[in-house]
Every structure is written in C-alpha cells, then in structure tokens.
Structure 1
Amino acid sequence: MRGALAAAILCLPVVVLASLVTISWDELIEVDQRAILAATGVTRSHPALFDALITWQEIFLPWHVYLAALPIAIWTWVRGLRGRTIWGVATMLIGWNLGLQAKLIVERARPLYDDPVSRAPGFSFPSGHAFNTAMMLVTSLIMAWPLLRRWPSPARVAVVAAAAVVIVLTALDRVFLGVHFPSDVVAGVLLALGLAFASYLGYRYEPRRESR
C-alpha cells in the first residue's frame, strides 16, 4: 500500500505531461518541435556525431541495459543481499513492462519533420531508451547501496555521477537522433525514478528483510 501511494505521488509529473501530450497543448508541442528541429540540424551537420548517436542507441537497447544489470545482481546476491536482489530484479522487469504499457496508453506518434536523420518504430511517449536506462541504473544503485556505502565517499560520488551522466546522454541521444521529443525523454526518466523509488519504499517497509 505504501509503495502504491508513493508511486501515485512520484509519478504525478509524468501523468501531467502525458495529459498535456494527449490534449496537444500548444506550448508543449511548439517547444518540442523547435527542440527537435534544432537538435537534428546539429546532427545532420556533423556525421561523426550521427555515428556516435547510432552507436549509443544500439548499446543502450533495453535488453542490453537489463543484461548489464546481471553482474550487479549476482554481486549483491553473493554478498548476502538476497531479498534486496530479488526486489531489484523484479522491479526492473516489472518496470520494463510498465514502460511499454505507458506507450500504449498515450499512443503519441514519433516526431515528424522534413529530412529525418533517423527513424524508430512504435510510439514516442515515454522514451523507452531513457526510461529503461534510468530504471536499470537507479534500481541497481539502490539494490547495491549497502555495499557501495562501504566504499570511500569519492568512489560513491563517482558511481552516482557516472550513472547520472549515462542517463542524460541517453536522453540527449534520442532527441538529437530526432526519434523522441524532449518531453518524451523527460517523462521516461521521471517515470523510472518514480517507479524505482516507490518500489523501494514498498520493499523497505515490508517485515523480515535483511539489514539495509
């Protein structure tokens, strides 16, 4: 119950964004469209940037992202955080599905503009790449935090900062390739953060958990 309530509160900004997208709020649509045209203009003018963006896109496919979480799950399991590991893996897998369902609910079309630099199938809101990358990294950090907090402070900061940079770069990748609006990637990241932290709050207050 605590987790469901937290999810309703933490994911409220995404619901608001989805509502604005659904009613085609002029101000949001204009900002999104201008950003896409500006970003793709930069990409179109820099072939090396385009190649880097395509490579990043392939590396951060959802199934690649969640496969990368496997060593972290093995690490936490072996180090005795078994309940926490089960929670983390379940949260990531359920989150992956919820992200797909969100696309089907909103059904936003991909950006349309002249001379596209790239194309992608499916619906646009929220961004699957941004959502799944944030979902995996945030959940993995929470799952492994009892082990990470034993590390020196600079190392912990570096890990968290690296995760944040990867999330931001993945979001930018989608916009500069012109396959997602800025509101799509913002919604993807916010949805991932909301679901991950709501799930952890629900897990944290369950009885008979190992030490946190």
Structure 2
Amino acid sequence: MSSSGPRTSVSPSGRSWRNRRLDPDRSLGLRLTLASAAAFLVLVPFALLAVLVVGAWPPLHDLDAAVTDSLHRFAADHPVWVRVMKVWTHLASPGPLRVAALVVVVWLWRRGARRLALWVVTTMVVGGALGAVLKLLVGRDRPELLDPVARAAGYSFPSGHALNATLAAGVLLLVFLPFTRGRPAARVALWTAAVLLVGVTCLSRVALGVHWASDVLAGCLLGVAVVAATAAAFRTWRERVGLPAGRATVDGVAPELTDPHA
C-alpha cells in the first residue's frame, strides 16, 4: 500500500510580488508594471541630464554653447526667421496650450467622458507643477548673448515650453487616436501634428536664444514620462471597472470615445 504526502498549492495571494506583477494571466498587474517601467526608463535619461547640468559637465556645456551660437548667428542675419519663431513660440507657449487643453476638457465633459477629462487635467497640472519645481531646484541660468533677438525671464532647465508642448501633444494623441481608426491618412496627420508641435516649439526656444538645447530635451523627456505615468494610471482604472483597453499608441486611452452613447 502506498501513500503519497499531502499536496500543497500556492494560492495567487501567496505568490511573490514580483511573480504577480509579471504574470501574463494577471493582465492588470502586468500592464501597470510595464507602463511604470516605461515611465521610469524615460526618467532615467532626464535624471542623468539633470545631474550633468547641475554638475556643469564640460562636454554638455560645450555642445549647448555650440548649438546656441550657431542658431543665434543664423537668427541675427535672418529677421524674418526670428519673427516666425517668435510667433510660434507665443502660440505654443504654456498659456495657450493650457487653454486648448481646457477646451478639450469641456468637450469631453459634455460628451460624458468625465474621467478622461480629469485625466487631461491631471496630466497638464502634474506636468506643469513638476516643471516649475524642477526649475527652482536646478536653478540654471538662461543663455547670455551679446545681441539677443529675444528675452525670457526665470530659470532655464527644463524648458516649460517644451514640457507643455509634449504634454499637449500626448493629450492630443491619446484622446483623438480612436477617431483615426480605419483612417490611415488621419492617423498620419494626427501624429504629424503632434510631432511638429513639439519639434518646432523646441526649435523656436533654442533658435531665439532663450534656452539651451539640453533644456528642451529635458522638457520633452519629462513630458513623455508624465504622460506615460498618468496614462498607465488611467488605463489601470479602466481595467478595474471592465472597460476595454487597447494599445495606447494605436487606440488611445479611451477606444470607445468614438461612440457618444458608450
């Protein structure tokens, strides 16, 4: 007569935190873990850049100075270019972008997508607040040019214009991507608009001599990290209440937004 010992099983609640977070059968934990990791990985180069700026690393300073000097010489010889850059930098400044975000919030609220509207507000507010705090902590001075074509007040790192343009571009993409489903041309146009918003805004700040190139790069990195983090939190809530979730960069954060009765 043979006997076997009692079988033991490990309940999901008894598994390690690491195993639960990486379990493909527990999609909520896996998605949140991957999104959090992505946000962290974006913050790593931002943190490294901040350390190099605070430490006044000579190669970074020399590169910033070379880019600024080159663009300033071009601007000094091309007044029309300066006027175009000034118009763009005013239109894409934090104030107008926040007003545009508020318009989107009101539209979403009236459409019944109130949690999505709150996500937009949270993304813009958290990102803007982080940028303001980091400017004070780093305390980097703006470029000092002998014959400046533009002036700006306050500290330089990270660029508030680049940060808010990235936040606005992220909101633009993740809110309106559902409306491009099955429309490749519209999807390309939306992505192009988002990239141009960020790219030209960054260029304008350096071209006008009011920011170093590393300032605008830092603003973009911080903006991407904030959008990734808030989008991850929003998608986590959606999964908990049983709402559909697709790929954020393809379907946006609310794929059902195209159905006003959803």
Question: Fold match, TM over 0.5?
Answer: yes
Q: CA deviation at 1:5?
A: 5.6
Q: CA deviation at 1:52?
A: 1.1
The aligned residue for residue 95 of structure 1 is 127
The aligned residue for residue 180 of structure 1 is 211
Poorly superposed stretches of 4+, deviation over 4 Å: 1-6
| Partner residue of 1:52 out of 84, 92, 103 | 84
The 10-residue stretch of structure 1 (111-120 or 15-24) with the greater mean CA deviation from structure 2:
111-120
1:63-74 → structure 2 map (5 Å cutoff): 63-74=95-106
Structure with more relative contact order (C-alpha pairs < 8 Å, separation 6 or more): 1
| Residues 165 and 209 (structure 1), Cα distance of their counterparts in 2 relative to 1, 3 Å cut | farther
1:6-17 → structure 2 map (5 Å cutoff): 6-17=38-49
What is the DSSP-based 3-state SS (H/G/I as helix, E as strand, rest coil) of the residue aligned with 1:69? helix
The aligned residue for residue 23 of structure 1 is 55
8 Å Cα contact 1:56/1:173 also seen in 2 = yes
1:21-170 → structure 2 map (5 Å cutoff): 21-146=53-178, 148-150=179-181, 152-170=183-201
What is the distance in 2 between the residues matched to 1:143 and 1:90?
14
Identity %: 36
| Residues 77 and 150 (structure 1), Cα distance of their counterparts in 2 relative to 1, 3 Å cut | farther
What is the distance in 1 between the residues matched to 2:242 and 2:163?
28
What is the distance in 1 between the residues matched to 2:67 and 2:165?
22
What is the distance in 2 between the residues matched to 1:143 and 1:88?
9
Provide the aligned C-alpha RMSD in A. 1.9
8 Å Cα contact 1:83/1:209 also seen in 2 = no
8 Å Cα contact 2:122/2:230 also seen in 1 = no
Q: CA deviation at 1:82?
A: 2.3
Amino acid at match of 2:172: S
| Residues 130 and 95 (structure 1), Cα distance of their counterparts in 2 relative to 1, 3 Å cut | same
8 Å Cα contact 2:101/2:120 also seen in 1 = no
What is the distance in 1 between the residues matched to 2:83 and 2:180?
37
Q: CA deviation at 1:6?
A: 4.9
Q: Which runs of 5+ in 1 are unaligned?
A: none
Is 1:202 the counterpart of 2:233? The answer is: yes
Is 1:193 the counterpart of 2:224? The answer is: yes
8 Å Cα contact 1:102/1:126 also seen in 2 = yes
What is the distance in 2 between the residues matched to 1:70 and 1:17?
31
Aligned residue-pair number: 211
The 10-residue stretch of structure 1 (167-176 or 113-122) with the greater mean CA deviation from structure 2:
113-122
- TM-score, normalized by length of structure 1? 0.91
| Residues 209 and 50 (structure 1), Cα distance of their counterparts in 2 relative to 1, 3 Å cut | farther
Q: Which runs of 5+ in 2 are unaligned?
A: 1-31, 245-253, 255-262
What is the distance in 1 between the residues matched to 2:151 and 2:84?
16
Q: What is the CA deviation profile of residues 116-174 of structure 1, one whole-angstrom value per residue up to 9, with x for unaligned ones?
A: 2211100001111111111112123213333x243612101111111101210000000
